[in-house]
Amino acid sequence: MAECVCLPGCPFFNDKMQNMPALAGIMKKRYCMDDFDSCARYMVFTKLGKEKVPMDLYPNQVERANEILAAGT
């Protein structure tokens, strides 16, 4: 199983999720180790670049990611 290229430097998991290890583990397994394309953060990263990924964007917030992509910001 491949790991998402963003995982080592992902501020969401490395900063925001450190106090929630159980939830972080579930999300990492789903979004970082399996289905990167469904990760809202990865979606914005690949289309607009790292600097456009909001710090508070959760991997499961696909609707919000689509809004960001539509706005191009």
| DSSP secondary structure, 18-38, as one string | TT-HHHHHHHIIIIITT-GGG
In this structure, are residues 1 and 33 in contact, taking their beta carbons and an 8 Å threshold? Answer: yes
CA torsion through residues 46, 50, 54, 58, sign: positive
Q: Are 41 and 4 in contact (CB under 8 A)?
A: no
Token readout for 16 is 């925001």
Question: What pTM did the predictor assign?
Answer: 0.83
Which tens digits make up the pLDDT trace of 11-70? Answer: 776 666 667 778 777 888 888 888 888 999 999 999 999 999 998 898 999 999 999 999
Which residue is associated with the tokens 């900063």? 15
